[in-house]
A and B are shown apart, each in its own frame.
Chain A
Amino acid sequence: MNEQFHPAPVERISSSIPGLDLILGGGFFRNGVYIIQGLPGCGKTIFANQICYGHVAGGGSAVYVTLLAESHSRMIQHLSTLSFFDVHAFPDKLSYISAFPDLESGGLKGLVTVLRREIRTRKIGVLVLDGLVAASEAAPSDLDLKKFVQELQSIAVLSDCTVLMLTSGSVHRLHAEHTMVDGLIELEDKLYQERSERAIQVVKFRGAGPIPGRHAFRIGNDGIRIFPRTEAIHGGPVTDGASPGVTTSGSAGIDALLRAGGVPRASASVVIGSTGTGKTTMGVQFIHASSAAEPGLHLGFFESPDRLRIKARSLGLPLEALISAGHVELMWAAPGEALLDELADRLLAAVARRGVRRLVIDGLSGFVESALYPDRLNRFFSALTNELRSRQVTTLMTIETRDVVSSVVSLPLGISGLVDNLFFLRFVHEEGVVERLLTIIKMRDTDYAAGLHRIVIGAQGIRLAGTVSSDGDVIPSAAPATPAGR
């Protein structure tokens, strides 16, 4: 009489495309009918095939049905170069067949008949229909097309099959079939001046809210890899479990300037200065303090790992022992060619893999170069630093400024709001003497010795060497001919 209503949960089916299940909240809904839309060249064919081969690898069967699309042999030739291709999927688990003759002779009814028959006789779990536009054009009216989709939906549910229909064109023109399907995914390859970025957007998804917006993806030897937007997956507030205490900056001298004796754990510090002022050195110093308890990761864009090792040795801070013991990892990325979210993904994966606690990002401009539209950067960095903080990672990032002609520091990107601690390095010359100065602009939650601290960089790394009373003339951009501190 008073029975509880237990809704039957709708099962999900994994897409086998890295990043997509996360965006969909677990995968496609089983037995749904979805449209994958995008202009020619956007990656639809690889996308759909990757799902098929993934489904087969998981023990299922799939069929790839073409209307007037790429020839089967060509498709197989191209796909065989990708790592997910498996020739052993044939013939029992996967087939490519054309339904165009049935569409041509029997219209939509003929098409539905062949699809229904193949789904049932082959007992498949995934069906791809490539070339929906041919069916749309064969439909006498919008109503006929809607009826076709609805029939397909009934067949899908009755036969336990998930259907993906591929079509070209843009989602921004409303088509009759868009209203009927369970979900609509758009793939695009957008040009930003001379670079292009592939992106996916889940425009519609019945039954759940996908992670909204556009997410970048790459097509490589392993097919498609999607990088969900960093701000969208890491934008949440930090759970306040920050471990108290401080950790060394790597330099005893700098630690001594901080009342607490070090930088607060899980904080984000930025070192800003023009070229040659010692930013990378500060990074090496910081990473050299890594240990088993505090594994370190150094991400550089400009100095290769080999050059960094050489530099570290010249500073009396060799990294070899730490690297071979597994306490330090050196990562390098080419500035400007990687996708922003791909960089974040690589970084966070490396942090997770080794339980990293000390992170140096040498050259934030490496991220900036990768951004196709700069407006994103504040939100991106906010999300990234938030995520690093929640993972208890103490981070040191370096930023290069161009011409620093006064002691007023104007920070790019609105960085000051994002970081906890700010260090400023610069060269000054006074009465013919060149000095290297470090100023602490801000430290969150801890006192510090304000002032202009003279630093010396040599065979013991960074040493503090007193303070200067006046600023002198700041030397812009280039490093001085006579290096300071020797």
Chain B
Amino acid sequence: MKTILVVDDELGSAEVLALILEEEGYRAFCAVNGALGLAKAIEVLPDLVIVDYMMPLMDGAEFARALRADPRLAHTRIVLNSGLPEFVIRDQFDTYDAFLRKPFKVETLLAVIQRLLSTS
């Protein structure tokens, strides 16, 4: 069973997403900012993270860079998402595996997850 970590300061949407992922057969965890996300990632070693960009304490780009810098986590698939357009995010971090513009349909996200996890 694959593990997915959802990192988003908007707690309600993070929790709903985690519940949906569980129903789809994944093991899902949540964190509400990049710092807590990093700690959780080290703990559960997710196969894929879905991370929001604008967050308090540590934003999504900083979190993603920290992930890539850690040998235990460097190969985790990263799905960045934001209400902002992609070009704004790309300036901050560009080695993500997928970008989703919010609001997105959950089917879109599930398809992206499936595609990314099937090649790992």
Contact = CB atoms under 8 A, between A and B. Distances in A.
B75 to A, nearest CB: 26
Nearest to A99: B56
Nearest to B88: A90
B81 to A, nearest CB: 9
Chain A interface, >50% SS class: helix
Given A71-B103, A76-B84, A91 B59 contact: yes
Interface residues of B, number: 23
Interface in A55-76: 66, 68, 71-76
A90 B82 CA distance: 11
The CB with the most chain B CB atoms within 10 A, among A71, A95, A97, is that of: A97
A100 interface: yes
Nearest to B9: A98
Interface in B23-59: 32-33, 53-57, 59
Nearest to B54: A95
Interface in B3-39: 9-13, 32-33
A73 B84 CA distance: 8
Contacts of B83: 72-77, 96
A189 to B, nearest CB: 26
B12 to A, nearest CB: 8
Interface of A: 66, 68, 71-77, 87, 90-91, 95-102, 104, 114, 117-118
Contact of B13 (A71, A96, A104): A71
B80 to A, nearest CB: 12
Nearest to B61: A91
Nearest to A104: B11
B72 interface: no
B56 to A, nearest CB: 5
Given A76-B84, A77-B83, A87-B88, A98 B11 contact: yes
B56 A87 contact: no
Contacts of B57: 114, 117
A98 B14 CA distance: 12
B50 to A, nearest CB: 14
B56 A73 contact: no
A156 to B, nearest CB: 18
A118 B10 CA distance: 16
Interface string B60-84: 0100000000000000000000111
Nearest to B81: A73
Contacts of A96: 54, 83
A68 B11 CA distance: 10
A117 B56 CA distance: 9
A102 B85 CA distance: 27
Which 7 residue pairs are nearest across A and B when measured between Cβ atoms?
A73-B83, A73-B102, A101-B32, A98-B9, A76-B83, A97-B56, A101-B11
B55 A97 contact: yes
Contacts of A114: 56-57
Contacts of A100: 9-12
A66 B54 CA distance: 12
26 contacts: A66-B10, A68-B12, A71-B10, A71-B103, A72-B10, A72-B83, A73-B83, A73-B103, A77-B103, A87-B88, A90-B54, A91-B53, A91-B61, A91-B84, A95-B54, A96-B54, A96-B83, A97-B55, A98-B9, A98-B11, A100-B9, A101-B9, A101-B11, A114-B56, A117-B56, A118-B56
